[in-house]
Structure 1
Amino acid sequence: MAPSFATCTEVGPACPVEATTYGYYPQLGSGIFLTAFFAFLALVQLGLGVFTRTWSFLIAVFMACALEAVGYGGRILMNKNPWSQDAFQIQIVCLILAPTFLAAGVYLTIKHIVIFIGPEHSRIKPKLYTWVFIACDIGSLILQAAGGGVAAAATKKNVKLLDVGNGIIIAGIAFQVATMSVCGLLALEFFIRAHRSGQGFTPKGSSHGAAVRRSFWIFCAADAFAYLAILIRCIYRLPEMAGGWGNPLMRNEKDFLLLDGMMIALAAATFTIVHPGFWFPPMRKGAKAIPHSEGTSVNDSTEK
């Protein structure tokens, strides 16, 4: 009988590490570093979110960082025992789900950027950036969670179910890539239309000075960088999962750490260093109404 989670509980002559899904001992050093790094970011996000009252953003990014920390904790356990079924389940589910929450943070920021510059330039209403895209995010989350659950359960009784779980996960990730791509295109079109309007990128009648405008553009650049990092990670996951469990790409830890771990670490760190509570105050709950066109104003105080 071929080695599998159904027959192996630890590495030995009959159960070599090469027969595991990943075919290697996950690096201990990178596992410890990323676990500590994401746990630290989660705590910082908690403090910053409470202090600046950016509640929705806090929930999204905190959950992403917390799940990443738990996921890499699972890889630390797999370094000790690559055949640990519990560790495998922890890391596969958490590391697949975490970026979905981080993407939700992107959708929240785009909504508020649209409100700040002027909803008249957007093809859809600002609230739809959260309602529609976060709803799609939740759909992606459900698909990936279901796939991860099926895959994790299959390791014990029916290895063939891994393919079923894998297919569901791929569908969830593909849906996530499509969702992010559509959102990114809408945001890009919004900026192009705002630029062509000749009205500039600050609200009419606004008293914001040069320093505030510079802070806003730094935040927009950081938001775009985080978006691209998350998108790169999601695109990487498609061929990694599409090749089937134990395929060569899935067994390449360097690619995984670069295109998954580092991309999400960069996105989460960017959202922590360039936190909207300080760099884009309109996202704070209770922020002052901002005039965005003559005779009208938007009260951007809900942070939803």
Structure 2
Amino acid sequence: MAHLEPLAGGYYLWKYLPSITAAAIFAVLFGGITCVHCFKLWRTRAWFNVPFVVGGAFEFIGYIFRIVCYNNTASITSYSVQSVLILLAPVLYAASVYMTLGRIIRSIHAEELSVVPVSWLTRLFVISDIVAFWVQGGGAGLMVMQNMATVSKVIVIVGLVIQMAMFSFFIVTSVVFYRRAQQIPPTAGGVPWRQHMNTLFAVSGFILIRSIYRVVEYTMGMDGYFLTHEWPLYVFDAVLMWLVMVIWAIKYPGQIEPGKTEMELLSTEDAVSG
């Protein structure tokens, strides 16, 4: 029968025995919705949605490794993989969300209504996203070391705070633009921009709630309630992030500036025209 196993020195990576059933369910859910995103990406060639596919793959692999951990709770590799990938997946979703706003604004020629200059809009938020990604990843990777537990916790919290602060600013930026653009027809430029903005608001809200949960989780520490009980992970992370992927797939922003051959972050031409 599966049971918790300590590392050398009596240090436990897990504070509970992970549920193999819950992990299997979400591995299937994330695997399925990631396949849907792959199909939509292939059909629309909307490459700014690539991070959603990568994020979905992160979630799928992360929950597969939680299944593996059920019978091997002393495996540092398995614990690290599931912890890091599930932690970082939402950062990738955020990258696509950031790139979508800039495309919406340009598609309806409303650059003058943006709080942040459109030529800098995506770069500002995606660069902060990259910083948050590496900081969180570095901190999560150190959590398997007992003597680095406190340091790793602080590093992860810093990364989460960076992500949450910039995401909050992004939401404010989006709301201000939406309010300023009310006089623009709902389908200006042939793009249902209001529909896409509502989708953006919905997924942004879920990602922000999840980020708040993670900050509280790590602030409470390794012996805190959230890290010693499994259900919060599924309620405040797994379910919300799966809904983010489902909503994005249903209201897929594939027709915004169709025909792009590269992601906006790497496009010098976009910066000049913006």
Short-chain TM bin:
0.7 to 0.9
For residue 145 of structure 1, report the CA deviation from its aligned partner: 1.2
Runs of at least 5 residues in structure 2 that lack an aligned partner in the other structure = 262-268
Superposition map of 1:1-304 within 5 A: 4-7=6-9, 20-57=12-49, 59-117=50-108, 118-152=110-144, 154=145, 159-195=146-182, 198-203=183-188, 206=189, 208=190, 213=192, 216-277=193-254, 281-286=255-260
8 Å contact from structure 2 (residues 51, 93) kept in 1: yes
1:282 alignment partner, SS class: coil
For residue 46 of structure 1, report the CA deviation from its aligned partner: 1.7
Aligned equivalents of 2:220 and 2:7: distance in 1?
20
8 Å contact from structure 2 (residues 46, 259) kept in 1: yes
For residue 32 of structure 1, report the CA deviation from its aligned partner: 0.7
For residue 200 of structure 1, report the CA deviation from its aligned partner: 4.4
1:6 maps to amino acid: A
Aligned equivalents of 1:145 and 1:132: distance in 2?
20
- With 246-255 and 60-69 compared, the bigger mean Cα shift is at 246-255
What is the RMSD computed on CA atoms of the aligned residues?
2.2
- Residues 61-88 of structure 1, C-alpha deviation per residue, up to 9 Å, x if partnerless? 0111000111111211122232222221
For residue 44 of structure 1, report the CA deviation from its aligned partner: 2.0
Identity, % of aligned positions? 25
Aligned equivalents of 2:59 and 2:119: distance in 1?
28
1:162 alignment partner, SS class: helix
Aligned equivalents of 2:106 and 2:114: distance in 1?
9
2:225 alignment partner, SS class: coil
Aligned equivalents of 1:267 and 1:224: distance in 2?
11
- Residues 127-183 of structure 1, C-alpha deviation per residue, up to 9 Å, x if partnerless? 32211100000000110111122223x1xxxx1211111111110011000010011
- With 260-269 and 74-83 compared, the bigger mean Cα shift is at 74-83
1:150 maps to amino acid: L
Aligned equivalents of 1:120 and 1:51: distance in 2?
32
In the alignment of these two chains, the number of paired residues is 258
1:175 maps to amino acid: I
2:240 maps to amino acid: M
1:75 maps to amino acid: R
> If you compute each CA radius of gyration, which structure gives the higher value, 1 or 2?
1
2:258 maps to amino acid: R
* TM-score, normalised by the number of residues in structure 2: 0.87
Runs of at least 5 residues in structure 1 that lack an aligned partner in the other structure = 9-18, 288-298
For residue 105 of structure 1, report the CA deviation from its aligned partner: 1.1
Aligned equivalents of 1:21 and 1:283: distance in 2?
46
Aligned equivalents of 2:250 and 2:28: distance in 1?
17
Aligned equivalents of 2:213 and 2:229: distance in 1?
12
- Residues 81-119 of structure 1, C-alpha deviation per residue, up to 9 Å, x if partnerless? 322222211111111111100000110111112113311
2:24 maps to amino acid: I
- Residues 254-303 of structure 1, C-alpha deviation per residue, up to 9 Å, x if partnerless? 111100111111101111222112xxx1242259xxxxxxxxxxx98xxx
8 Å contact from structure 1 (residues 177, 235) kept in 2: yes
